[in-house]
């Protein structure tokens, strides 16, 4: 496509959006009431405190997630929402949590190390003292040279990146240039490069699996790891080191650490220095209940004809375990709960039922929202739809950190764009005005979009989500931006209210074809 047609298309789209936006009703009085309650009497940080500091991390299947599910259900009920419940979405697998984590280098000198056990890995069964060894496998043939070399050793692999000093701030907000580019039509690129990267990734993961099998078979006692994303200045990323399926084979004790500590050990080993470590981890598997759960509550609709139609908001309540999952995603949960509290406190009588879903096991593959959608709305694998599919209006999601809302991804829904333009108009002075037709991935709105239902994720300022908090040991309450979360709460409440009060449901895209494979 040449540049001129792209610019013309952008202009025509903007003109159509502006014209239609003027026709979409806006209850300005209600917007002002929502702003007043959400900005002056906010409970969003109090909710976030209980989700993080009080309930702790919320790994899927853990005691922390169970506590948070019960707490959020009880809080929504106390605010006056109806039908509050912890609802099963399907089978998840084994729960897991750790109770102790210690590691230090003892030779060539003593140095304490900051590290976190990888999820679903076993403990060390007491204090382990062992020599560190570097295993460098670039191709499958390299495995043979470590035969007989790893018995009783703690294994590391070479650094994937170094802890280089950066001269950019960890945190940032979207510039006007960023948002303008985001709102412009996306260029259509060939997917050859993406396919090639996918093939390379699959090959890399297959080789990693063979390395893990070899290391265990050779009698190593533990593995140390630093994520490919790295982590600097005391930050490290957390993930799982073994599957959570009920019949999964156990792995080795494995710890994740930041680049500085990990890099020092690797450099010493590469220089031929003897490195000795001591470590002790205590973990436990939770197998009494293999089910996964969501938290559901609602403000019932009041219109005789429309009360059975549904408007939903949601965010995933599970987290990783390195910290307390503040920006990922207690922030989203707190905002969505606050939006519901605001509407309940104002005594709104929505035409349609407004429902909140706090999803479990998003981090392992959107399991909670996918389970809810499959059970209640339809199966994307077969496109066999339930009666409630027709009664569903829209779903709004928040899962990109603590940053304020700057707009919304319309997810290719051209008819929804002018509606969103109208609803964002009262928030231009709060820096929220961008509507883009582009898709965004990786969050629970995809579960609804897969069934052709209107599912949307808001555009948020990144702050330090990608550099400091997302899946890290630094994702704590301290990283939350109170004013941003208040702003987001009132915008979400406004969108939900107007969706519930429209004469018609939100417009839909064309119904997708069945997808027998994963979404």
CATH number at residue 481: 3.40.630.10
Domain residues for 265? 98-178+189-284
Q: Is 81 helix (H, G, I), strand (E, B) or coil?
A: coil
Domain boundary among 232, 254, 284: 284
What pLDDT is attached to residue 519?
46
**Regions of the chain with pLDDT less than 70:** 1-22, 187-196, 228, 230, 517-519
121 and 193 share one domain: yes
What pLDDT is attached to residue 4?
47
Q: Rounded distance, CA 67 to CA 157, Å? A: 37
What pLDDT is attached to residue 176?
95
Write out the E strands in 19-110.
82-91, 95-107
55 and 193 share one domain: no
Q: Is 29 helix (H, G, I), strand (E, B) or coil?
A: helix
Task: Record the pTM.
Answer: 0.93
Establish if 144 belongs to a structural domain. Answer: yes
195 and 328 share one domain: no
What pLDDT is attached to residue 185?
84
Helix ranges (H only) for 151-223 are: 176-183, 192-217
113 and 83 share one domain: no
Residues 6+ apart with CB under 8 A from 126: 280
374 and 469 share one domain: yes
116 and 157 share one domain: yes
What pLDDT is attached to residue 160?
83
What interhelical angle do 3-21 and 417-424 show, nearest 10?
60
270 and 216 share one domain: yes
Per-residue tokens: 179: 């948002």
Q: How far apart are the first and last CA of the chain?
A: 29
Segment 343-359, tens digit of pLDDT: 999 999 999 999 999 99
Write out the E strands in 392-505.
392-397, 405-409, 434-436, 455-460
213 and 360 share one domain: no
DSSP state of 403: P
Radius of gyration of the chain (CA): 25
Among candidate residues 481, 416, 423, 474, the one with its CA nearest the CA of residue 445: 416
Helix, strand, coil percentages for the chain (3-state, nearest 5): 35, 20, 40
Question: Bridge-partner residues for 426, per DSSP?
Answer: none
Establish if 56 belongs to a structural domain. Answer: yes
Among candidate residues 63, 59, 67, the one with its CA nearest the CA of residue 120: 59
Segment 276-287, tens digit of pLDDT: 999 999 999 999
The CATH number for 276's domain is 3.50.30.30
271 and 256 share one domain: yes
Q: Is 260 helix (H, G, I), strand (E, B) or coil?
A: helix
Give burial (CB, 10 Å; 0-12/13-18/19+) of 466.
Answer: middle
Pair type for strands 455-460 and 392-397 = parallel
Establish if 49 belongs to a structural domain. Answer: yes
What interhelical angle do 482-501 and 28-40 show, nearest 10?
150
267 and 297 share one domain: no
Q: Rounded distance, CA 66 to CA 333, Å? A: 15
270 and 377 share one domain: no
Q: Rounded distance, CA 453 to CA 393, Å? A: 8
Establish if 508 belongs to a structural domain. Answer: no
Q: Sign (positive/negative) of CA torsion 442, 443, 445, 448?
A: positive
Q: Rounded distance, CA 355 to CA 296, Å? A: 7
Domain boundary among 267, 284, 301: 284
Establish if 294 belongs to a structural domain. Answer: yes
User: Number of structural domains, the chain?
Assistant: 2
Establish if 399 belongs to a structural domain. Answer: yes
Among candidate residues 487, 476, 512, the one with its CA nearest the CA of residue 373: 512
323 and 210 share one domain: no
Establish if 256 belongs to a structural domain. Answer: yes
Domain boundary among 253, 284, 315: 284
Establish if 304 belongs to a structural domain. Answer: yes
Question: Cα–Cα distances in Å, from 459 out to 68, 413, 434, 440?
Answer: 26, 15, 8, 9
């Amino acid at each position: 496509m040449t540049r001129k047609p792209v610019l013309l298309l952008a202009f025509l789209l903007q003109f159509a959006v502006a014209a239609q936006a003027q026709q979409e009703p806006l209850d300005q009085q209600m917007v002002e009431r929502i702003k007043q309650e959400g900005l002056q009497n906010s409970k969003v940080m109090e909710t976030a405190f209980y989700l993080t500091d009080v309930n702790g991390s919320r790994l899927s299947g853990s005691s922390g997630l169970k506590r948070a599910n019960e707490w959020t259900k009880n809080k929504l009920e106390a605010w006056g929402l109806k039908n509050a419940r912890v609802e099963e979405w399907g089978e998840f697998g084994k729960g897991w949590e750790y109770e102790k984590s210690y590691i230090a280098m003892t030779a060539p000198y003593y140095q304490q190390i900051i590290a976190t056990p990888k999820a679903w890995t076993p403990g060390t069964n007491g204090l382990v003292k062992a020599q560190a060894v570097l295993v460098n496998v670039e191709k499958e043939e390299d495995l043979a040279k470590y035969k007989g070399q790893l018995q009783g050793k703690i294994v590391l692999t070479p650094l994937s990146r170094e802890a280089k000093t950066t001269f950019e701030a960890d945190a940032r907000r979207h510039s006007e240039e960023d948002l303008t580019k985001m709102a412009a039509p996306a260029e259509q690129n060939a997917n050859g490069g993406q396919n090639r990267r996918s093939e390379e990734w699959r090959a890399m993961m297959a080789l990693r699996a063979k390395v893990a099998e070899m290391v265990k078979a050779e009698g190593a006692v533990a593995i140390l790891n630093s994520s490919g994303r790295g982590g600097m200045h005391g930050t490290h990323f957390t993930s799982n080191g073994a599957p959570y399926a009920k019949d999964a084979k156990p792995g080795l004790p494995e710890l994740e650490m930041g680049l500085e500590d990990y890099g020092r050990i690797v450099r010493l080993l590469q220089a031929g220095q003897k490195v000795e470590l001591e470590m002790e981890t205590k973990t436990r598997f939770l197998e009494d209940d293999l089910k996964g759960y969501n938290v559901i509550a609602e403000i019932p609709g009041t219109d005789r004809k429309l009360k059975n139609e549904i408007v939903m908001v949601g965010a995933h309540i599970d987290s990783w375990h390195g910290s307390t999952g503040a920006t990922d995603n207690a922030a989203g949960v707190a905002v969505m709960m606050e939006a519901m509290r605001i509407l309940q406190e104002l005594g709104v009588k929505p035409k349609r039922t407004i429902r909140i879903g706090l999803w479990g096991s998003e981090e392992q593959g959107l399991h909670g929202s996918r389970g809810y959608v499959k059970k209640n709305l339809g199966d994307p694998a077969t496109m066999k739809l339930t009666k409630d599919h027709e009664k569903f209006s829209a779903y709004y999601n928040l899962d990109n950190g603590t940053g304020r809302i700057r707009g919304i991804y319309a997810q290719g829904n051209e008819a929804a764009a002018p509606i969103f333009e109208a609803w964002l108009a009262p928030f231009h002075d709060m820096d929220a005005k961008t509507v883009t037709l582009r898709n965004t991935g990786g969050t629970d709105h995809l579960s609804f979009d897969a069934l052709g239902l209107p599912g949307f994720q808001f555009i948020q300022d990144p702050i330090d989500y990608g550099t400091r908090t997302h899946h890290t040991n630094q994702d704590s309450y301290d990283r939350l931006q109170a004013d941003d979360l208040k702003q987001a709460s009132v915008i979400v409440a406004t969108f939900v209210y107007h969706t519930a009060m429209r004469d018609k449901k939100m417009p839909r895209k064309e119904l997708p074809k069945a997808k027998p494979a994963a979404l």
